[in-house]
Structure 1
Amino acid sequence: MISDLAGLLDRVPLAAVPAVLAVLFFIVSELGYRLHQRFGGGGSADDETQVLSAALLLLALLLGFTFSMALGRYDERRQLVVQEANDIGTAWLRAGLVPAPHGPALQQALADYAQIRQTSPLPNETQKLAAAARLRDRVWAITATAQSVLDGPRAASLVSAVNSVIDTGTTREKSVAARVPGEVIMLLVIFACVACFLLGYVLAAHGQRHRLVSSVLFALMSLTVMLILDLDRPADGAIRVDQSALRELAQQLANTARSAQQ
């Protein structure tokens, strides 16, 4: 049930998330206000305020926990772009130490691989993922042949560099697919709705709506959830992983290849 709701939230465009959540928070707050007016008991408003404070504190902890998860995944994706660029560059340099024809062939294969790795491959880009897998197989096949003509230390160095390229490539693909569990996001939204309901309930106990202040709170909560989703969705929103390290490497290898042909 919760996973189905999480899938439904994924279908909402990121730009519309704050508006949708703000309206939802306002509705449940009004529901809490009206429920207290109709069925509210004679309890102390101060006691109800303490319950609201505890709920808001737990919501803040859950927001911080979820934000930390999303930020950690974003930072991992960013670091893997730089790591893959470094690994491909190192393997390309070591391939230059291999005699022809294996060395130039390996360098060309690595340059082709860098070209298609200039953007992070999304899980639904099956053709791009398949092309990357084929190029990794091609790179490894050339490496297996090339290492046989090298001495022990140079062969080990080349194999280690190419192995790092392959490992980092697959790790990067998995990191793009890894997201904050949908159950956590939905739990966050549900808990926020409960907190807004309690807010309306407590405001009714005090006899004041404070709609302006409440609306500001709802907007801040909605924007925070949107920020978490923006960090968690690699293909949507304004927060994107910087791909410049791989773009610059691909351009550099292409320029080197053109210079060598002239």
Structure 2
Amino acid sequence: MNALRENLFQVNAMLLAFIFFIQIFAFNWLGYWVKKRVAKRQPDKEISLGTAEGALMGLMALLLAFTFGMVSTKYESRRQTIIDEANLLNTGLLRCSLFPDSIKKTLIPDYKNYLESRIAYYDAGDNPEKINTALENTRKYFNGIWNENALLIKDQYNRPLAEQLVPALINLRNMVISREAGRIATVPSLILVVLLILIFVASFLTGYGLKPGGRNPVFSMAFAIMLSVALYLIMELGRPRQGYINLENAEKEIVNLRKNLP
């Protein structure tokens, strides 16, 4: 299921929403068609879903709202994490700039490479290979800065500045872990599958609950459009590295740090 999910992440969300729209509309029509066939075979029998249709629609709406709330919370958490990392990167850069010029000649270029690796991490989108490459470069450049700072701590003249840089570096390393964990954290696949099943079943029963000759194509289309739009928003919020609802504005705070490099 995880492999299927990764493949779906590469598909445009608008295309998936259109596919869901066709399926929802088709299930609604299928329910109405089945109702007509049953009514022809048993014309004297009153066929009604009673409260079952309303209960199922309520359950679908509840799960839809729960899923939307989950992905919107994760989206905001990811955005805040990027802002926090931008602040930490700026703090580390300012502390690196306090060292003598002889040290900055090697420390600042390493820090610049580290910053570029973090920018590349976001630019990788949802491509696993590019993400792993960016993370590997992040670890490599971080270790270089950390080892260099460890040597500076042993120098009595640079020890105070080097000790001030340690907390910033530790927080930067922790932020890398937090951002990667936030990227991986998604709505469980089982919830999405159950949500889709409920939507399709509800679409079928909505059509089945209509009386023969009482189907309104405009209403059915509006029903399918609203549900597919809701699914589209859930997909967009669930993968903010692509699409129209993304984290570009937050990522610009990290990209703009290039201007602060000497």
The normalised TM-score by structure 2 is 0.84
* Residue 157 in structure 1 maps to residue 164 in structure 2: yes
Using the TM superposition, give the Cα deviation of residue 4 of structure 1 relative to its aligned residue in structure 2, in angstroms: 7.2
**Which whole-Å CA distance do the structure 2 matches of 1:133 and 1:56 have between them?**
49
1:230 counterpart residue number:
236
The 1:51–1:172 alpha-carbon spacing in structure 2 relative to 1, beyond 3 Å, is same
Offset at residue 154 of structure 1 (A): 5.0
Match for residue 106 of structure 1? 107
- 2:257 equivalent in structure 1: 249
Q: Equivalences for 1:6-155 in 2 at 5 Å?
A: 6=5, 9-10=8-9, 12-39=11-38, 42-43=45-46, 45=48, 48-99=49-100, 101-118=102-119, 120=122, 121=124, 122=126, 123-125=128-130, 126-149=132-155, 154-155=161-162
Percent identity, aligned pairs only, is 28
Distance 1:36 1:115 in 2: 61
The correspondence for 2:208, drawn from 196, 201, 204, is: 201
Letter of the 2:230 counterpart: T
Q: 2 CA distance for matches of 1:103 and 1:6? A: 45
Q: Counterpart of 2:199?
A: 192
The alignment partner of 1:215 has SS state of helix
Instruction: Count the aligned residue pairs.
Output: 250
Partner of 2:112, secondary structure, is helix
Given the superposition, is the C-alpha separation of residues 236 and 91 from structure 1 closer, same or farther in structure 2, using an over 3 Å criterion? closer
Measure, in 1, the Cα distance between the counterparts of 2:112 and 2:57.
53
Structure 2 spans left out of the alignment, 5+ residues: none
Distance of 1:134 and 1:59 partners within structure 2:
48
Name the amino acid aligned to 2:192. I
Partner Cα distance (1:89, 1:10) in 2? 32
Unaligned runs of 5+ in 1: 258-262
Q: Is the 8 A contact 1:148 1:155 kept in 2?
A: no
Equivalent-residue separation in structure 1 for 2:221 and 2:117 (angstroms): 46
**Residue identity matched to 1:248:** N
Query: How has the CA–CA distance of structure 1 residues 44 and 31 changed in structure 2, closer, same or farther, with 3 Å as cutoff?
Result: closer
